[in-house]
Amino acid sequence: MDGVKLQVLWSNLIGIVSEQACALQRNAFSPIVREAGDLSNALFDEQAHMVAQAVTGTLGHFFDITLLSPIFRGDRIIAYAGSTIHHSDIGGYGIGSGARDIHEEGLGILTMKLYEAGRPNETLFQIIRRNVPPPEALMGDLGAQVS
């Protein structure tokens, strides 16, 4: 592939993830996402290797929830779109970054489906709701990630 074609493709990929990040920030409920921009969006190949990531800023820890959505061509998964949001109300420490152990960092959720065949995983939603005070903003932010 020549350099010009590669640059056009790269620009398009970065444009896609940047637009995803803007839409997520616009639709978020919490100020940490909406105003501080503590989020990230990326595209992954069919093996879940990252291809492109928006230039935004989120760290990786238990306050973050990452969602991946498959992208299909026919019946075959060809890629994934992903987003990560910093959810500040998860965890036992409270406001600040002085957690003394991993359990004060947040809620450790195993990799699982948030939705299956268009239906919410009510058990997972209940686990999340019962572990955050108050759950409205976090659930709104999850909705923004899904959209």
**Residue 56: per-residue pLDDT:** 79
* Residue-wise pLDDT tens digits, 63-81: 788 899 999 999 999 999 9
pTM for the structure as a whole? 0.80
Among 31-35, 39-43, 56-60, the range scoring the smallest mean pLDDT is 56-60
User: Which pLDDT score, from 0 to 100, does residue 12 have?
Assistant: 96
- Asked whether the beta carbons of 90 and 131 are under 8 A apart, the reply is yes
For residues 41-67, average pLDDT: 85
How much of the chain exceeds pLDDT 70, in percent?
Answer: 86
Single out the residue of 30, 13, 25, 97 nearest to residue 61, CA to CA: 97
In this prediction, residue 55 has a pLDDT band, given cuts at 50, 70 and 90, of confident
Asked if 58 and 86 touch (Cβ cutoff 8 Å), the reply is yes
Q: What is the pLDDT of residues 78-114, one digit of tens each?
A: 999 999 988 766 766 656 666 777 666 677 888 899 9
Q: Cβ(56)–Cβ(39) under 8 Å?
A: yes
* Phi/psi of residue 122, nearest 5 degrees: -60, -35
Say which residue the tokens 């359990």 belong to.
103
CB atoms within 10 A of CB 44: 18
SS3 134: coil
3-state secondary structure of 17: helix
Above 60 in pLDDT, residue 59? no
SS (H, E, C) 68-114: EEEEEECCEEEEEEEEEEECCCCCCCCCCCCCCCHHHCCCCCCCCCC
